Structure 1
Amino acid sequence: MHPRTFPLLRRLLPAASLALAAVTFSPGCQTNPATGELYLTALNQEKAVQIGEEAEPQFLSENGGVIPDAGIRDYVASIGNRLAAKSELPDLPWEFHVLDSVQINAFALPGGKIFMSRGLLERMTNEAQLAGVLGHEIGHVTADHVGQRMAQATAVTAAGAVLGAAGAATDKDWLKVLGVGTGVGGGVYLLRFSRGNETESDLLGVRYMDRLGYNPWGQVQVMEILKEASGGGSGNLLESFFATHPLPQDRIDDLEELIRDKYPDAKRSGDGFFPERFEQNVLRPLSRLPAPRQTTPPAAG
C-alpha cells in the first residue's frame, strides 16, 4: 500500500531538474528476481538502498515518528523480517516501522524501508492482516516498482528536456522527485502505482504470507477494513491512501480471483489468522498509549 495508480508524477520538478537527474540514474534492463520478468529500472540495488536510507529520517519526521511502544515496534518488525527472509531479496537491510499517525496507510521506500501507520494498525484484528500489509509493501520493493517508475519518468523527461549542466545533478534531485522534504506526507514518492503494480504486489505479498503459514484471506480482510473506513466518516484519514492506491473494491476483486486461482484450499475463516497473538501484542498495548503524535493526516499533495 504505498505510492500508487498513475500516469503522471503528481508534482514535477521543473523539466530541467528532472533531466539533470536522468544523467545520474541511467535506466537499464534487468530480470526481476521476484517476477521473473525483464524490465527497465533506474535503480541498482546499491542505489535503491542509498536513497531509502537518505529519505527515511525525513519521512519519519513528516509522519509522526515511530510509535512510543517498543513491544509493538519489535512485534511488527519481527513479522516483517520473517516475511522479508522469505522474499527474493532476503539480504536487503530491511527495516519496519509503525508511524505514530492517525492516517490509514502503509508505505515502502526503495531498498527495504517499510512503514505502516498506527491508524491502520488500530483497525486490524489479527496477525494475518498485518502480514498481508507488510508482505504487500515488501512486494513493492522486490518488484522494484519505484525503480520502474523512475526509469519511465527519466525517459519521458530526457526525451523533451535540455540536458545542459548535467554534471551538477545529485542524488538529492531524485529525493525531491520522490517528495521527501516537501511536506506532502503520505504522498512521499509523488508517484502512483498502476492497478497492475498493486495486483503484482498483492500476489507477491500473498506468496510471502503463505510461506509463513498465514491465511491469504487476511489480505482481503485488510481491503475490507479500508473499504469500510472509507464509508464511515474516515475520508480525511484515508486521503493519502486514495491518492496513491486503486479503490479497495478493485483490490478485493483482484485478490479474490488470485486466491481462488493459486490458493484454492485457503478458507475465509479458520486457521492461519492468529487473532490472539495480535490482541496480546498490539491491541492491548495500543489501548494504553496516549493519542498519536500526528493527529492530523498529512495532505495528499
Structure 2
Amino acid sequence: MVRKITAFFLAATLFVSCSTNTITGRSQLKLLPESELQSMAVQQYQQFLSENKVVSASADRDAEMVRRVGQRLSTAVEKYFASKGLQNQLEGYKWEYNLVNNKEANAWCMPGGKIVVYTGLLPYTRNEAALAIVLGHEITHAVFQHGNERMSQQMLQQGLGSALSVALSNKPSTTQNIFLQAFGVGSSLGILKFSRADESEADHYGLIWTALAGYNPQEAIPFWQRMASQSNSARPPEFLSDHPSDSRRINDIKKWMPEAMKYYKPMGK
C-alpha cells in the first residue's frame, strides 16, 4: 500500500511538473523553479571563474571575440522571444561571456545566460561564425531549460525530491554535482550530457540564433565535421546513445538550413 501511495504521488508530481515548450511544442519535465536555478547559477559561475584562469577581454583578441559573439547572439535571442510575445521567459537573464584558459574543447551556458568558452574549443571553431554556432547551441540549452529537465530527472533518481533548497541543505555536494553535470560544466562537447531531443533542438534553434545575429549558419556543417573527426574513441550505435550520431546530426542540420538561411542577413547589409 505504501508503495502504491508513493507511486501515485510521484506520478501526480510528474504530471503537474510537465510543461510544454511554447516554441517547439515539446512536453518537458521541469520540477525546479527557473529563478532558483538562476540564483544557483550565479554562485556556481562565480566559483568557476575564481577557480579558473579567465582571459581578459580587454587584453586578448579571442576573449574579445567571445564577448562580441555572445552579445550579438543574446540580442538575437531576446528579439526572437520578444517577437513571439515570450520575453517574460527570459526574465532574470543577465548575460555574461568569458573565455577561460583550458585545453578542452568545450563551452556551456548556465541559466540566466552565464556563458563560458574554453580556449581548447577555438582551434575547432576557427572563425566567428563557427563560434556562434557553438554558443547558439549552448544558449538554446539554457533558454529552453534543458538543464532543468536533466537536473529534475537526476534529482528524482537520487531521491532528492523537487525542492532545490532542501536538496542543497541535505546533500549540497551531490546537488552541486548534479547541477554542474546538467549544464555540461567540465565536460567536453564529445561527452553526452543532453538527450537526443534536447541536442536536436539546440542544433536547430542554434542555427536560427546564429543567422539572426548576422553569422552564416552554413558554418555549422564544417564545424561539426571537424568535431566528429577529432573523436578518437568509437561511439556506440545511435540507439544505445542519448546523442544523435555525427552523420544524423549533420544531415539534420542540412535539413534545417533553408529555414535558418531565411533569417540570415550578413552584418553590414
Shift in Å, 1:30: 3.4
Shift in Å, 1:155: 3.3
Q: Which sits farther off after the overlay, 246-255 or 132-141?
A: 246-255
> SS of 2:124's equivalent?
coil
Which residue is 2:94 aligned to? 93
**Higher-RCO chain (CA-CA 8 Å, sequence separation at least 6):** 1
Distance, in Å, in 1 between the alignment partners of 2:168 and 2:243 is 36
Which residue is 2:140 aligned to? 139
| Residue 60 in structure 1 maps to residue 49 in structure 2 | yes
Which residue is 1:80 aligned to? 70
Which residue is 1:127 aligned to? 128
Superposed counterparts of 1:14-33, under 5 Å: 28-33=17-22
List gaps (5 residues or longer) in structure 2. 1-9, 82-88, 234-240
> SS of 2:24's equivalent?
coil
Which residue is 1:254 aligned to? 252
Distance, in Å, in 2 between the alignment partners of 1:69 and 1:167 is 34
Which residue is 1:298 aligned to? none
Q: Which sits farther off after the overlay, 198-207 or 89-98?
A: 89-98
Distance, in Å, in 1 between the alignment partners of 2:66 and 2:203 is 19
Task: For residues 181-208 of structure 1, give each alpha carbon's deviation from its aligned partner in whole angstroms, at most 9, with x where no partner exists.
Answer: xxx93279x9721122111101111111
Structure 2 vs 1, CA of residues 156 and 257 (structure 1 numbering), >3 Å: closer, same or farther? Answer: same
The structure richer in helix per residue is 2
Task: For residues 65-97 of structure 1, give each alpha carbon's deviation from its aligned partner in whole angstroms, at most 9, with x where no partner exists.
Answer: 222453432331122122112223555111122
> SS of 2:19's equivalent?
strand
Structure 2 vs 1, CA of residues 195 and 167 (structure 1 numbering), >3 Å: closer, same or farther? Answer: closer
Shift in Å, 1:51: 1.6
Task: For residues 136-191 of structure 1, give each alpha carbon's deviation from its aligned partner in whole angstroms, at most 9, with x where no partner exists.
Answer: 1110001111101122223344499xxxx9895376652132348xxx93279x97
Q: How many residues align?
A: 228
> SS of 1:39's equivalent?
strand
Preserved contact between residue 217 and residue 266 of structure 1 (Cα < 8 Å): no
Superposed counterparts of 1:159-198, under 5 Å: 168-169=169-170, 173-179=174-180, 185-186=186-187, 192-198=193-199
> SS of 1:123's equivalent?
helix
Distance, in Å, in 1 between the alignment partners of 2:95 and 2:56 is 20
Preserved contact between residue 54 and residue 98 of structure 2 (Cα < 8 Å): yes
Which residue is 2:113 aligned to? 112
| Residue 39 in structure 1 maps to residue 28 in structure 2 | yes
Structure 2 vs 1, CA of residues 248 and 51 (structure 1 numbering), >3 Å: closer, same or farther? Answer: farther
Distance, in Å, in 2 between the alignment partners of 1:101 and 1:272 is 31
Which residue is 1:205 aligned to? 206
Distance, in Å, in 2 between the alignment partners of 1:126 and 1:201 is 20
